[in-house]
Amino acid sequence: MAETSANGAAAAAASTAPNKPPYSGKPKRPNYNLIHADPLPVVLYHSPPLIPHNPLSLLHHLYLFFFPPVQSHNVKYIGVFSPVTMSVEVRDPTAVLDLWNKGFWGKGSLSRSEPTWLNRELRRLGDTQVSETSEEITRRRRDQRKEMKKERARKEKEELQKVKEAEAKGTEENGSASSGKPTIADPKVVVGLEAEISGLDETVAAAEHPHPSIPAEETGLPTPPPSSDELNTSDGESKTEVVNIGTETLPVSVPPTSESPPAQPAKVVRFDSNTSTKEIPAQKKVTVQNQEHLQLMLSEAFFLSYALGILSVTTKDSAEPLPLEETFKLYLRYATFPPLPESSTSLTKLNPDNSFLINYVVYHHFRSHGWVVKSGVKFSVDYLLYKRGPVFSHAEFAILIIPSYSRWEGRDENIGKEWYWLHSITRVNSQVKKTVVLVYVDVPTADEVEGWDCEKDGLKNVLAKYKIREVALRRWIPGRNRE
């Protein structure tokens, strides 16, 4: 008796247990915490704690100072300066992968951000050993959103047609009456539905009237269920089974038997597309030459060369690495478009108002504080700040650089922009949930930086003369910020 009750309880528990969703076959996401564990492309080591009263601890620190275990600031990457794109190109595949995984430096020349052109090309040619890229995920989501809008527009159009038919029917029934007001549909409902589907008429028309060469099953819309007339059969006639697999409805004729009842609806068997059998594609390996390279902004390239010392820059005319002074002079020339003439760029008479110097000071400031700094041209700003990187979250802050000439005598502080210029930038960035930060760069005068090339740490002293002030903006909306 106890065993029977236990079996009954187990069966009841099994019947009430929630069913697990079928395996969707989605590939696992890569472990970004492991891939991007290093914030910089340098190898660092942690020194042991210093104990002043312990002589062994002092000796250990002296030994690590003269004989470090890791040479972290050796030149490891080589870039080629391109005057056409005004950037530094890194073409070594190992260096490209290393720079992106350790700090998200640069962008792919044939990609939106991460250099994924090779993986996209391999997947296009049928390689089954390459995972899905971020561009393909974005494209799939957009296609799904488009299909959802098509289906919603179709249903709304059917609802609007029903409302109009009810309105016409009410008008005909009450039109012959001598007294009374005809009952019609609410005009607000009709106007609201018409306004909602007005922008989707062309999409629905394309879905309802596809190209003649495309069958109706390939338009993306689900196949309607069979009607009741198709399901009912008369006495003595053969019974029809309707098997719906995926989006196809297949009628199967079944001969009548003496045991079967004379008049019953046909059996409808529907299989979910997730539970249907799927053919496993054959493994395929494709070999393609990578045609993509990594593009570094001038500020990024100079930070890797000057602050970290791991990048050497060459030109297309010579394979010899340029000295740091020549690289700095080259960046000063190509910071603006068109580039400055070579005769007007001099290291002896340095112009502190050069746009490269102002942009690099801001870049160096935020990179040294641990932010991942990327170009903000997509949102009409100078830089975008990521807390960890583009693969983890969206940018939180949009940086707008404004030079300040408070130390310049006779120089107007007005930036030369109208009020709607700043209003448009704050509107664009508020729509994408980014905080606009005005970064005022206090530019030193030419007399303050004179003779910097004769000093030992001349460039370091020049950069220290720039002062930075941040002001965060918040868009003020009268309808929401009354209190």
- Which one of the listed residues 293, 434, 440, 466 is annotated catalytic? 434
386 is known as an active-site residue: yes
Half-sphere exposure of 243 (CA within 13 A, CB side): 7
Residue 152 backbone dihedrals phi, psi, to 5 degrees: -65, -40
Residues facing 283 on adjacent strands: none
* Residue 145 structure tokens: 């959103």
* Token pair 């991007």: residue: 36
- Which one of the listed residues 394, 417, 423, 460 is annotated catalytic? 394
**Torsion (CA) 121, 125, 131, 135 in degrees, nearest 10:** 40
Half-sphere exposure of 451 (CA within 13 A, CB side): 3
Classify residue 376 by burial, with Cβ atoms within 10 Å: 0-12, 13-18, 19+: buried
- Which one of the listed residues 77, 386, 440, 466 is annotated catalytic? 386
In sequence order, what are the residues at sequence separation of 6 or more whose Cβ sits closer than 8 angstroms to the Cβ of residue 147?
220
C-beta neighbour count of 294 within 10 angstroms: 27
C-beta neighbour count of 113 within 10 angstroms: 17
Residue 267 backbone dihedrals phi, psi, to 5 degrees: -80, 130
Instruction: State the DSSP string of 267-293.
Output: PEEEE-TTTS--PPPPP----------
Half-sphere exposure of 52 (CA within 13 A, CB side): 0
Q: Please state, in angstroms and rounded to a whole number, the distance separating the CA atoms of residues 341 and 335.
A: 12
C-beta neighbour count of 401 within 10 angstroms: 20
3-class SS string, 149-209 = HHHHHHHHHHHHHHHHHHHHHHHHHHHCCCCCCCCCCCHHHHHHHHHHHHHHHHHHHHHHC
Classify residue 8 by burial, with Cβ atoms within 10 Å: 0-12, 13-18, 19+: exposed
- Helix or strand holding residue 367 (H, E): helix 355-368
* Residue 302 structure tokens: 């100079």
434 is known as an active-site residue: yes
Query: For residues 364 and 307, is the Cβ–Cβ distance under 8 A?
Result: yes
Known catalytic residues? 386, 394, 434
